[in-house]
Structure 1
Amino acid sequence: MLHWLRHYRRAMLPGDISAGVVVAMMMIPQGMAYAIVAGLPPVVGLYASILPPVLYALFGTSSTQSVGPMAIISLMTASSLAPLASQGSTLYTVLAAQLALLSGLVLLACGLLRIGFIANFFSRPVMSGFTIGSAVVIALGQVPTLLGAPWFTLHVPSAVLGLASLALLLLARRALAPVLRTAGLSPDAADIGSKLAPMVVVLGATALVPVLGLDALGVRTVGTVPAGLPGLNLAASHGHWQALVQPALLIGFMVFLISMSGAQALALKRAEKLQSNYELIGLGAANIGSALTGGFPVTGSMSRSAVNFAAGANSQLASLLAAALLALALLLPTGWLALLPLPALAATIIVAVIGMLDTSTLKTSWRYDRADAAALAATACGVLALGVEAGVVIGVALSMGALIWRASRPHIAVLGRIPGTEHFRNVERYSADTAPGLLLLRVDAGLFFGNVEAVNERIEDELAARPDTRHLVLVLSAVNAIDTSALFALGELNAMLAARGIKLHLAEVKGPVMDRLKHSDLLGALGGKLYLSTAMAWDDLAGT
């Protein structure tokens, strides 16, 4: 906060005010809806939208990040607490806040220990698969509320209201922005107007409840919403700390990943630099604040942050103003909130998660890398069939497995000289010359315990195909590291080749690799020479 306050200018205020008002209008139906997804009373979603953005503004580095409830994290909260307590119970509410506290402490610790790089281990296809699976789970979970009755039945007044709200929201999502642009609004204003459609639909549905007597017809509403700000929450269930540790680690990880992906995209548009470790601290503080005010785990919302950006937010003051407006809404009479019909809120949730069903990553990965496509599909199916946590574990395991599989089978090319040049290329891809008795092999990966056996096998195959080989040159231009196992393997290769009358040479060894090799016995025992370039090795060895 000290950084952006020092650079704050009066000209930035109008944009922050407009963005704060717009985001606050979004947060009322969104916060309440996502609290329902988490299995909590709707007002808890408002509690989780007040202090968290204030605390994030103290430490976070994104000027447009909107922190609060978010669909996926709400689903993960419900999934984590379902085995421990029944929804609607006091224990469930206590555990939700306790989960937020633990998630916040995890994030805070990661930030203080400067390990923000851990987000790099969660691949984009896995994230996409997780998002798709979660979106389907959330949408299916809202269908009974939308129709006002359990699966395969319906309550007619609720279904009419819910389906009408759903149709209006889908229509607004597809056509409202173009209509507003045609009416003369700027593209940004039209986009913001379309994003406020859920607020308008929910307000309209709420007005219909007393006018048509829908509550008397059995349409379920939010019910009494207590007025006033949330008090300090220090309640905890001491018997559940251990059971919450694992889900808190996973939720903390996902909070950071979701938040950074959205904030990073917006930061690029303004040439801003995000500091991942401060983001961890900011998100950790936000979740601790949510816990202390009776909330549940929160994160940066991609959709709200985009609206915040489009509405003109210039700094975190926009989020502070939005939080202040939400607090004011709770201080004012809240009787009208009690009339919010649950079918309309279910419609807003379904439309929100429909936007998360992006298949472009699946199409791209299928064309580019089938292993990534398989990880995406397995993650989505895992979330649907086994639950959120199992789906994430499956996706990460498959991604890491694919990474290890690729690393264990490095690409190795037989090199030849391009006629008339000093360039050497793969003889399978280019018309390149080779020299009798000389074998040039380029290893295109670091050498470590997981791939030395595959490298040795390939060398043996190439030597068997060229029995006249007298000089083997390993071109290490693509080798960034050689671990101890690979060092021993190179020593054994050198001895084996020497016994067969073949000299082992090394070319284009990188500086950091050479620095480590100097501390070993390999260079002294090497049967051949070290060459600065492949061309120098060719000139020295070809024809000898």
Structure 2
Amino acid sequence: MVFKSLIKLPLFSQLTSYNRSLFVSDAVAGLVTAFISIPQSMAYSNLAGLPPEYGLYCSLLPLMLYALLGSSRTLVVGPAALISLMIASTIDKLSPSSVTETIEYAVNLSLLTGFFLCFLSLLRLGNASHYISKPVITGFTSAAAIIIAVSQLPLLLGVENDRSFNISDALLQPEVYFSGINVVVIGVSLLGFVILWLSRNLPSFLIRFCVVPTVVRQGIVRLGPIVAIIISSAIVAVYSLDSNYGVDVVGAIPSSLPSFSVGFIKPSLWLELAMPAVSMALICFLNSIAVTKSLASKRHELIDANQELLALGVANVGSALTGTFSLAGSLSRSLVNYYAGARTQVANIISAAIILLTVLFFTPLLYFLPQAVLGVIVIASVLPMVGVDKILHYWSINKADAVSLSITFAAVLMLGVDRGIWIGIGCSMVLLIHRTSKPHIAVVGRVQGGTSFRNSEKLDVETLNNSVFLRIDESLYFANVQHVEDYILNYCSNRPSLRHIVIIFSSVNFIDGSALETCERLVVSLRSSGLTLHLCEVKGIVHDQLKKTNLLTLLEPGKVFYSADEAMQYIESLQ
């Protein structure tokens, strides 16, 4: 019985046809992904305001929990830029007095985030992500990426890193905030940027002169952060840049594992952390599900959104119980995992095992790792997220989308990530209601020699002098039915020759109580003006709603026709 319950877990279903070939692919992918995860995890932990080793801890048990429960075969979870920024922003406002207190806040944030995700999974709200528009997400991630990049400037310049840093500090008081710049640190930062730039551009340069296998090209690009860490750490160690020139380094990292503990869990903090945790749960899911679906589509795999909520929730709870911070799906590491050949979540388990060995045996090698290089890795990772250029793209397609993107972008920059995302969502909802409150209404006519009806403004169509055919391109409900009524009454008031109004319901999939009452009032208003209202192409589900009211009786002598062509033939017969 227990085995049957276990076999329902996604990982066990992935292993039903597992073989040596799949294991080799997963092993290679896990090894490569671990090499990428180590520097990124440490950098994002630094961004969150926690010691670098906590990023490594966050990539152990949580990664294995997701591997067990996640429906994606290739998603990699762990420290993520947006989540780390939100953690830092939330904790800064609480003004922790020590590193221990900072960790305490981070642990409770992770626990609440996990609880909210699990709760959403219990409510089967996995598809709720569909209601947040792409422009809002683009505006949020673009502004957040800029905030993240700017927040790393103190590390790159060697100035004191104030955790309350924000963009206004840099723009309004640069002479105060950036005083005490360390030229040697700037040199180390430039070295890091050069190494990352070379790793990304060297493959295309080599292709011009020789044939380079795809695996080699991808390896050069993906291992750039590791190379940057090795070279910069070696230079700092050889020339004692930390002691002689004040270059901040990671320092001693404990060669031990985090332990299960509830000591940091403080229910007294949950009330003030609740709203930030809700925001983080939302961003965690949106970020992860977008990556998951993108990768799944490449192999025509199915993703269970509610299972993803559960897996992410349990991973965040596991992160809290091991004393570390919130996580999410990582786009960069997931792409590396996918293109390195991962076929199942065994790759993530292998990756976690390699990170575990690093924590136990190789952390002394990271002692001289410059903090500036961690900042360089963060900036290089988040800059591709900036998509402000999409404003022009959305403006050319739909101006409302461009407005929601711009408002979200500005709100995140000025008010912070926690408030900005909710303002963006609110803006998106308002624009959606505004858009649907004024549905498109087309005056249509019969195509010459045919039976179909098209917009009379775009094609030369047949019309009748004593009638008008109107197609409503939206379902009818309380927010838009008044606009429809006003449009029809205004249209008819300027055309005294009209005797028949035919409304085409082909695009009406739903009609609520308010709309039904308004339709009844419209019938009476038109009849008092000598006009007869007809309906056509009414869908079955809508017709069932009409039969539960007095509308069909009130409509007489108006009729309900099967098609617009049938309605036109009827009106023609009356002439």
TM-score by length of 2: 0.92
Q: 1:139-196, CA deviations, whole angstroms, 9 ceiling, x for partnerless residues?
A: 1000111111154341121111112212321332334455378554322431232111
1:250 correspondence with 2:260: no
Quote how far apart the aligned CAs of 1:279 are: 0.7
Q: What does residue range 368-447 of structure 1 map to in structure 2 within 5 Å?
A: 368-447=397-476
Is the partner of 1:41 in helix, strand or coil? Answer: coil
Q: What does residue range 7-18 of structure 1 map to in structure 2 within 5 Å?
A: 7-18=17-28
Q: What does residue range 196-211 of structure 1 map to in structure 2 within 5 Å?
A: 196-211=223-238
Q: What does residue range 27-46 of structure 1 map to in structure 2 within 5 Å?
A: 27-46=37-56
Q: 1:256-312, CA deviations, whole angstroms, 9 ceiling, x for partnerless residues?
A: 110111111111111111110111111111111111111111011011100000101
1:307 correspondence with 2:333: no
Structure 1 distance, partners of 2:454, 2:362, is 76
In the other structure, the counterpart of 1:354 is 383
Quote how far apart the aligned CAs of 1:88 are: 4.8
| CA distance 1:344–1:127, shift in 2 (3 Å) | same
In the other structure, the counterpart of 2:127 is 117
Quote how far apart the aligned CAs of 1:360 are: 5.3
Q: What does residue range 232-251 of structure 1 map to in structure 2 within 5 Å?
A: 232-234=260-262, 235-251=264-280
How many residue pairs align between the two structures? 544
Paired residues of 2:200 and 2:220 also in contact (CA < 8 A): no
Is the partner of 1:6 in helix, strand or coil? Answer: coil
Structure 2 distance, partners of 1:512, 1:233, is 56
| CA distance 1:482–1:370, shift in 2 (3 Å) | same
Is the partner of 1:215 in helix, strand or coil? Answer: helix
Paired residues of 1:39 and 1:87 also in contact (CA < 8 A): no
In the other structure, the counterpart of 1:222 is 250
Paired residues of 1:198 and 1:348 also in contact (CA < 8 A): yes
Q: What does residue range 41-60 of structure 1 map to in structure 2 within 5 Å?
A: 41-60=51-70
Structure 2 distance, partners of 1:79, 1:294, is 19
1:4 correspondence with 2:14: yes
Structure 2 distance, partners of 1:171, 1:358, is 23
In the other structure, the counterpart of 1:345 is 374
| CA distance 1:100–1:451, shift in 2 (3 Å) | same
Paired residues of 2:31 and 2:354 also in contact (CA < 8 A): yes
Paired residues of 2:261 and 2:323 also in contact (CA < 8 A): yes
Structure 1 distance, partners of 2:233, 2:320, is 30
1:96 correspondence with 2:101: no
Structure 1 distance, partners of 2:352, 2:197, is 28
1:61 correspondence with 2:71: yes
Paired residues of 1:442 and 1:477 also in contact (CA < 8 A): yes
Structure 1 distance, partners of 2:565, 2:362, is 82
In the other structure, the counterpart of 1:287 is 316
Structure 1 distance, partners of 2:14, 2:411, is 42
Quote how far apart the aligned CAs of 1:536 are: 0.3
Question: Partner amino acid for 2:191?
Answer: A
Q: What does residue range 146-225 of structure 1 map to in structure 2 within 5 Å?
A: 146-150=156-160, 151-153=177-179, 154-176=181-203, 178-179=205-206, 183-216=210-243, 217-225=245-253
Structure 2 distance, partners of 1:427, 1:31, is 60
From 517, 542, 557, give the equivalent of 1:488. Answer: 517
Q: Which deviates further from its counterpart, 53-62 or 394-403?
A: 394-403
Is the partner of 1:297 in helix, strand or coil? Answer: coil
TM-score by length of 1: 0.97
Q: What stretches of structure 1 of length at least 5 have no aligned partner?
A: none
Paired residues of 1:66 and 1:308 also in contact (CA < 8 A): yes
Q: 1:28-51, CA deviations, whole angstroms, 9 ceiling, x for partnerless residues?
A: 111010001111111110110111
Q: What stretches of structure 2 of length at least 5 have no aligned partner?
A: 1-10, 161-176
Is the partner of 1:285 in helix, strand or coil? Answer: helix
Paired residues of 2:50 and 2:99 also in contact (CA < 8 A): no
Paired residues of 2:195 and 2:227 also in contact (CA < 8 A): no
Quote how far apart the aligned CAs of 1:109 are: 1.4
Q: Which deviates further from its counterpart, 138-147 or 104-113?
A: 104-113
Paired residues of 1:480 and 1:512 also in contact (CA < 8 A): yes
Is the partner of 2:385 in helix, strand or coil? Answer: coil
Structure 1 distance, partners of 2:108, 2:13, is 32
Structure 2 distance, partners of 1:395, 1:88, is 34
Question: What is the RMSD of the two structures over their aligned residues, measured on CA atoms?
Answer: 1.5
1:537 correspondence with 2:563: no
Structure 2 distance, partners of 1:171, 1:302, is 21
Paired residues of 2:199 and 2:220 also in contact (CA < 8 A): no
Q: 1:79-122, CA deviations, whole angstroms, 9 ceiling, x for partnerless residues?
A: 12221233752111011011111111111111122111110111
Structure 2 distance, partners of 1:49, 1:183, is 38
Structure 1 distance, partners of 2:227, 2:261, is 33
| CA distance 1:54–1:180, shift in 2 (3 Å) | farther
Structure 2 distance, partners of 1:186, 1:128, is 34
Structure 1 distance, partners of 2:512, 2:137, is 31
Paired residues of 2:58 and 2:325 also in contact (CA < 8 A): yes
In the other structure, the counterpart of 1:70 is 80
Paired residues of 2:536 and 2:560 also in contact (CA < 8 A): yes
